[in-house]
Every structure is written in C-alpha cells, then in structure tokens.
Amino acid sequence: MTPAAKLSRFFLPTLREAPSDADNVSAKLMFRSGMIRKVASGIYEWLPLGLRVLRKIERIIREEMDSIGGQEVSLPVVQPRALWDETSRWGVYGKELLRFKDRKDGEFCFAPTAEEVVTDLVRREIRSWRQLPLMLYQIGLKFRDEIRPRFGVMRSREFLMKDAYSFHAGEDDVTRYYGEVVGAYKKIFGRCGLNFRPVEAQSGAIGGSFSHEFMVLAETGEETIVSCADPQCGYAANIERAEASRPGDARTGPSSANDPNLKTPADIPTPGLHAVEEVAKLLGEQPRRFLKTQLYILHGKPVMALLRGDHQLNEAKLAAHLAAPEIRRANEDEYVKFLGCPVGFAGPQGHPDVPIHADYAALGVLNGITGANKNGFHARNINMWRDFNAAGQADLRMTTAGDPCPRCGRNLEWHKGIEVGHTFKLGIKYSQAMGATYLDKNQNPQPAVMGCYGIGVGRTVAAAIEQNHDAAGIRWPASIAPFHAVLIVLDLAADPRVREAAASLRSALLAAGVELLEDDREDSPGVKFKDADLIGIPLRIVLSKKSLDRGGAEIKLRSALQPEIVPLSECLPRSLALLGFSGKEAVAATTE
Ligand code: ATP
Ligand code: MG
C-alpha cells in the first residue's frame, strides 16, 4: 500500500502568477500548479505532480492498446538517415525534422515519428502471413522542430507520443483492425473523462473514412469541427476536410453552350472594387451569383480555381485534387503575366491556356458575375461551356454555416477542438518502399498493409485542463487526477481527537486504493485550500476540531460549491462514491 504523499516533502513549486510567455489557460495552470517548467523554447520538464497525470494517461493507453492485441516496444529516438532515404522522407520532411551528425559524420535525425524504423524492424523479422497481423506500439519522446512552439506542452518541440503501427496480410484485415483501434481510442479518451469527438480527417466520399482525428472539445481549440446535429447520424469532420460541394450542385448551372437560358455577356465598370462583397453591394446582387477565381502556380505554370462567390477555397482540397502539395498562391505579377489583369478583376473566360478547376457549386451558377480580366471591370452572364471550360471538377471549398450535413442533409453544428489523437490507414506506402513483405498462402511475396495510430500524451494532459478548469484552477477528471483526494488535518495540537480520526481515515482511504496527498505544511488553512483548488484534486477532506465538533469530516468535491459534514464512519464510502469509484477500480488500485 502506497503511503499518503506528504505535501511538506513533495516537490510542488506552485506559483501565484504564470510566467509571461504562458499563452493559454492550460499552460498557465500547468506552470502555476508546479506540473511543468520550461528549459528552452518548446522543451519542458515534467515535475512530480505533472508526471503523475502523464503516467495515468499512459496507463490507460497501455491497457487499451494491449486489449486490442498491441505489444509494447521501445524504438530508438535517434534514427539513421539511411532509413529515411528509403522512403524519400529525408528530402520531403521539412525543417521540423531535427538532423545531426555523429562523430563519424554519419547522418541521423531525432524521431518525429517512427514508420521507417518500425517497418525496417518488421521487414527483418516477419516472413509469413501466419505471423500477421502484428501491432507494435510505444510511448516515447518525439522531437519536431515546430516553427512556432506554443501553448506549453500542447505544441512543444519535444513531446511524449504514443505511436502504434499495425501490419496486416491484406487490405480487408487492416480495415477490420482500423475499426478496433478507433474503438480503443474512444475508450481511452472516455476513460480519461474527456468530452471528445472522433472526426473524419479525410474525405469519406468513397464510402467510409480511414483517417480520424480525435478532438477534445474546448472553446480554446485550434481546430474547427463540423458535426451533424443529429446524434443518430454521427457525421463529424475537421472543417478542413469536411465534404462541402457535391456533383449534384452543378445541376442548376448551364447545361451546354446552347442552353436557351444563357444571356449575353456584358462588361460593368467597377473601378477599385476587388472583393465579391463590394461588387455585389454596388450591383445589388447576392454573392452567390458570382464566379470567383483564384490563381495558383504549379511547377511554374498557372492553374485556376473557380468558386461560387460566397464560398471560400479549401487549399488542402485543391492540392489533393491536383495531387500537388507544392501548389502555391500566385502573386500580383503572376496575375498580370498569366491573366492580364490585377487580382480582383480576373474571370474564367478567355484563358484557354490556363486549366480551370471548378468547385461543383461554382458550376451551378447560371449567368454568373465575375472579373472581366481588365482592371476596373467585371462582367455579367459568364457561363461554363460557352465562355470557358473546366479541366476538372471537384469539391474544393470550405464548409460554411448553413451547409447541410453531407450524410443526412440535416443541420450541422460547429465546435472548437484540440487534436489529441490521429488514426490512419497507411496502406502499403512504407512497406512497398522498404520491401516489408510477407509470403502469402500461395508463397507469393506481398507488401504488408499498414495502419498507424498516434496519441499526444502531453497534449492530452493540456487538453484535459482546457476542458476542465475554473477561475481557481484545474478540475481534474478523477481517472487522470494526480491524486484522488487531498487530506487537510488542522488543530493537531489543540485536539487529541483529530490525530486519531486522521489516522483511521487515512488508512481506510489508502486501503481502498485512494491516492492521497496530505497537506501537512505549516501554512494557513486558506493557503492550503487555495493550493488544493489550483492543483485540482477532485476530493478535499478536512479534519479539524471544528469539523469533529460538527459531527465528522468536511468533504468537498472540487466542483461542489459547499463542503458537507460526513460522520467518520461514513467518510470512506462517501468519498468512494463521490470519486465515482466502483469496487473494481478500488481493488485495481490497491493491487498495483
Ligand atoms: P498537428 O496537426 O497538431 O501538428 P500532427 O498531425 O502533426 O498534429 P501527428 O503526426 O498525427 O500530429 O501526431 C500524433 C499526435 O501527436 C497528434 O494527434 C498530437 O496529439 C501529438 N502532437 C503532434 N505534434 C505535437 C507537438 N508539437 N506537441 C505536442 N503534441 C504533438
Ligand atoms: Mg504537426
């Protein structure tokens, strides 16, 4: 049985004020509650209180990974360049990859992830389909030289990640297993006491998505999530990837160059008015009647994206549609060079050499208003087929308020979230490049089909705080709290009953598996209560002359407004009930 931790001896340097560079609530509270300290930009020390939370989350992760057949390994943080060359990622990965040389001039990097290393391990050891599936995971440090480390451990450079990799004989098996991992992730974040959503991180247009991000919902999150208001439907996606336009949206547009509804084009002077909204106001028209162009450059050549006037381009979708992550926005000079007009006056018509990629909704615009390709003019009645042609059609836009759910057509809700985990069906990208093959039932070599699954452990700690805090400090969910309860014993010298009551309550709680922090410092009760609130221990138990006079101990949940007096004989069951301990958990904790 672990004894109660004595706060007088516990390394808990709390602060009244957070350091000035702590730039969000969780970072401030983690500094103030003595969970972390900073060594350098994006590099942190975890102090005992913080580490206890980290370890709790790790434990939950391990249990759930083990329960779906995962096997824990420890892979090196220093990885040789040669492996990264095999997948060409040494060249592709940008400056986030921290590269260095050893004394023999050998090139290495600090692990930002471990696909290469684990695929190399598996190709050396796995021979036959009989050895698959195989799921290996680790909980280890990663380093990414983030351009802008921020929000404390939420976006740091060195961080603890659970990374898992699975290898399968065939596509069907990875598909089946992917579902199990998503299930395990739901259990992990649920057991951590977090309000979260798994969201599709890839367009699921071809039926089912095989990349999900796990988002902890918090106002302060960097990510925007759209989800169906109907829980029965369950659709949820990162706004960046949410399906917006569909082929059917083009139906309301011109049907051909001979469509009888097409009107004659006409120029309109719009001096100095670039934005759709400005021109729409001048003309008294709705932005949805406009065709909006955006010029991009791919390998030195122009490519035009075409959108409906009230829509925003989603660059990631354009890049995916063109299979060209390297596209970039054209500059002013390039507009003039390729389209003959400044930004804000370009239209799709009259550029036969510039391939146009249209969003489906843009193709639904009949007699559209757009730039006239000359400074100070727009044009009316521009139509596909007659005035321009599209080299490609796709969903290229961001979801906007008012769009229906792409699955069921009902309303969408918007939330802010923090990405704490990511699951991904990788396919054979790595196994093929690195020759990680197995012999199938017919003795033919096949590349193993892979999945990879990450969780930011430190980021999960910070996300839990973003979601669970108040003005006084952190409010830990009991399952990941550094301690379950804080025991504050007052008036020891003044009343002999206190010591006796404290001794029996302490041992009863410990025997039941309650992790106890005892504030035995010389400070005033006020200081002790403040610190208990700041570090967010779920249950506060006070034993004093006053409490005994009133009939027992004073017990208060961190989230409750007032304490309750509980008779000594009732303290243990009441505490366990308040902590939400089932008998099973208490036993698990005591047999640790
Ligand atoms: P982000 O888009 O936030 O940079 P990512 O897509 O690069 O994340 P992955 O490569 O999928 O992240 O890594 C798996 C998990 O590791 C993420 O879901 C996140 O929880 C965590 N993580 C990634 N980068 C950081 C970081 N700089 N600091 C802390 N945790 C991180
Ligand atoms: Mg990243």
Report whether residue 458 contacts ligand 1, using a CB cutoff of 6 Å. Answer: yes
Q: Are 379 and 268 in contact (CB under 8 A)?
A: yes
Q: How close is the Cα of 583 to the center of ligand 1, in Å?
A: 36
Comparing 3-12, 194-203, 349-358, which segment has the lowest mean pLDDT?
194-203
Q: Whose alpha carbon is nearest atom 21 of ligand 1?
A: 456
Residue 131 is given by DSSP the state: G
The ligand that comes nearest to the alpha carbon of residue 113 is 1
Record the tokens describing residue 185, joined without a space. 């992730």
- Ligand 1 pocket check for 513: Cβ under 6 Å: no
Phi, psi of 294, deg, nearest 5: -140, 125
Read off the pLDDT of each residue in 131-152 and give the average, rounded to a whole number: 97
Q: Give the pLDDT score at 89.
A: 94
Is residue 505 within 8 Å of 573, Cβ to Cβ? no
User: At 247, is the secondary structure helix, strand, or coil?
Assistant: helix
Pocket-testing residue among 38, 44, 150, 159, ligand 1, by greatest number of atoms within 8 A of Cβ: 159
> What is the Cα–Cα distance from 35 to 16, expressed in whole angstroms?
14
Considering every ligand atom shown, identify the ligand nearest to the alpha carbon of residue 158 and give its number: 1
What is the fold, at CATH topology level, of the domain defined by 18-243+413-465? Answer: BirA Bifunctional Protein; domain 2 (3.30.930)
pLDDT score of 208: 55
Q: In this structure, is the dihedral angle defined by the CA atoms of residues 384, 389, 393 and 397, taken in order, positive or negative?
A: negative
Distance from the CA of 457 to the center of ligand 2, in angstroms? 14
Check residues 203 and 81 and name the one with the higher pLDDT: 81
Q: Which fold has domain 483-590?
A: Rossmann fold (3.40.50)
Q: Is the dihedral of CA 60, 66, 70, 75 positive or negative?
A: positive
Task: Compute the distance from residue 312 Cα to the ligand 1 centre, in Å.
Answer: 26
**From CA 311, how far away is CA 289, in angstroms rounded?**
11
Q: Does ligand 1 have an atom closer than 6 angstroms to the CB of 112?
A: no
Report the distance separating Cα 111 and Cα 244, nearest Å. Answer: 36
Cβ distance 67 to 59 under 8 Å? no
Q: Determine the distance separating the centroid of ligand 1 and the alpha carbon of 456, expressed in angstroms.
A: 6
CB-ligand 1 contact for 421 (6 Å cutoff): yes
Query: Does pTM top 0.85 for this prediction?
Result: yes
Does the Cβ of 221 fall within 6 Å of ligand 1? Answer: no
Least confident span in 72-81, 159-168, 192-201: 192-201
Strand pairing partners for 416? 224
Does any ligand 1 atom lie closer than 6 A to the CB of residue 146?
A: yes
Three-state DSSP string of 304-321: EEEEECCCCECHHHHHHH
* DSSP assignment letter at 115: H
Element (H, E) at 403: none
Centre of ligand 2 to C-alpha 140, Å, is: 16
Task: Quote the CA–CA distance of 17 and 38 in Å, as a whole number.
Answer: 15
Predicted local confidence at residue 207, as pLDDT? 47
**Closest by Cα among 428, 467, 479, 405 to 190:** 479
Q: Which ligand is nearest to the CA of 461?
A: 1
Q: What is the pLDDT of residue 146?
A: 97
pLDDT at 203: 53
Ranges 76-85, 156-165, 198-207, 503-512: which has the least confidence: 198-207
Q: How far apart are CA 1 and CA 5, in angstroms?
A: 12
Q: Is the pLDDT of residue 586 over 90?
A: no
What distance in angstroms lies between residue 572's CA and the mean position of ligand 1's atoms? Answer: 41
38 C-alpha vs ligand 2 centroid, how far in Å? 20
How confident is residue 200, by pLDDT bands cut at 50, 70 and 90?
A: confident
The pLDDT score that the predictor gives to residue 589 is 45
Tell me which of 181-185, 393-397, 583-587 is least confident.
583-587
- Considering the four listed CATH numbers 3.90.960.10, 3.40.50.300, 3.40.50.720, 3.40.640.10, the one that applies to the domain covering 247-394 is 3.90.960.10
Ligand 2: centre distance to CA 40 (Å): 19
pLDDT tops 80 at residue 86: yes
**Relative to the alpha carbon of 316, which ligand is closest?**
1
Distance CA 266, CA 381 (A): 7
User: How far is residue 25's CA from residue 15's CA, in Å, rounded to a whole number?
Assistant: 14
State whether the beta carbon of 420 lies less than 6 angstroms from ligand 1: yes
For the segment 24-57, what is each residue's pLDDT rounded down to a tens digit?
999 999 999 999 999 999 999 999 999 999 999 9
pLDDT for 49-85, tens place per residue?
A: 999 999 999 999 999 999 999 999 999 999 999 999 9
End-to-end CA distance of the chain: 8
DSSP codes joined into one string, 255-287: -STT-TTPPPPEEEE-TT--SHHHHHHHHT--G
Mean per-residue pLDDT, 197-219: 79
Domains of the chain, by residue range, sit at 18-243+413-465, 247-394, 483-590
pLDDT at position 8, please? 96
Residue given tokens 């790595």 in the structure block: 430
